[in-house]
Amino acid sequence: MGMGCGHIRRARRKRYLAAALAAILGFAAAASCPAQEVRLGTWKTPQTIQPFFYEQFLPSSIQPRVFALTNPADQKTALLAGSLEMCGTTLAHAIHSGAQGEPVVLVAALCNRSSALVVKKDGPVQRVVDLKGMRIGYVPGTMHEILLREALARSGLSAETDVRLMRVDFFDMGMALAGGGIDAFLSGEPLPTVAVEQGYGRILAYPYYADAVGTINAGMLVTRETVAKRPELVMQLVLAHARATEHLRTHPDQWLKRAEAFGTPRSILEKAAPNMELAWKMDAEFVAKTRALGHRMQALNLIARQPDYDALFDLAFVRRVAARLPP
């Protein structure tokens, strides 16, 4: 016996209402599901700023929370403790971690360049070789120590016998130079440009040597466990990192405006900008430069052995990102 038209209409209406209710409930469930918080570490410098922009380039299901730490070593410690999912680090610290067998992986570059050797503005030093017998401020175990020793060696100077290396905190170097406590220092931007603009310093050299370490500086670090168990999260973070980097490169006003909030005047940041390169790409040449850095660290007794560079680097994520972004 056939169903009447009224029954058909009522059945259709029930199905429509059921589908609509299911859609509403599904939307409500999705809306009530909290976004996954992802904890990121970096430090408050213009050249390590990208994590502060990740939120613009991540899906709504991922909510980044950025922690600004003053010491790259502290970031790595927090990463290994499970307090961060990703953090920035200097390549020197990454090599040190790898040499100790710590389960860390570099998945993207963070910045290149960003260093300078500074002397007194009206002092007698015109070339690196003129630093013989002088006091140079540095922070042991950093990229800057390695670059300083490289610059001295290329000018025929021994860091042990020809100059006096003095341990000075980065943020005290300017005062020490201006006050006569040291004759030179090597540090990261914007401190060299601050010294120039405030009238007590002069940039003697940018310590980049293509046949050695080159301009590499820092990268983004995750744990080996995160790569193995949460590769799609790592992919989303590297993609956001790359997009943030490219965005800031093409929108320098946004980059410097955000960096100004860290306490450095805009005028100084604009002058320092040519010596700061935001980065995300890593390739075989990048790895080769990092190996060269590791060998210099071992020669300086900063590490006892070389890390396993195949384990320290995972280029798969930047390669996948490169295939997705415009050339």
Instruction: Give the tens place of pLDDT for each residue, 257-278.
Output: 999 999 999 999 999 999 999 9
- List the helix and strand counts (H, then E) for the chain: 13, 11
Q: Which residue has the tokens 């201006």?
A: 178
CA angle 161/167/172 to nearest 5° reads: 135
> Tens of pLDDT along 168-212?
999 999 999 999 999 999 999 999 999 999 999 999 999 999 999
pLDDT tens across 8-48, in order? 455 455 454 444 434 433 444 444 567 899 999 999 999 99
Q: Check pLDDT > 50 for residue 55.
A: yes
Question: Rounded to the nearest 5°, which phi and psi values hold at 62?
Answer: -120, 125
Q: In this model, does residue 67 exceed pLDDT 80?
A: yes
Residue 3 has pLDDT above 60, yes or no: no
Angle of the 231-250 helix axis to the 252-260 helix axis, nearest 10: 100
Residues near 33 by beta carbon (within 8 Å), at least 6 away in sequence: none
- Per the prediction, the chain carries an average pLDDT of 91
* Per-residue model confidence (pLDDT) at position 35: 86
Q: Are 193 and 204 in contact, with CB atoms under 8 Å apart?
A: no
**71-79: which pairs have CB atoms within 8 A and are 24 or more residues apart?**
71/43, 72/43, 72/218, 75/41, 75/42, 75/43, 75/221, 76/102, 76/104, 76/221, 78/41, 79/41, 79/104, 79/221, 79/222, 79/223
pTM over 0.85: yes
Cα–Cα distance measured from residue 142 to residue 277, given in angstroms and rounded to the nearest whole number:
18
Dihedrals φ, ψ of 254, to 5°? -65, -40
User: Are 114 and 147 spatial neighbours (Cβ–Cβ below 8 Å)?
Assistant: no
Write the CB contacts of 121 (distance below 8 Å, at least 6 apart in sequence).
Answer: 196, 199, 200, 201, 202
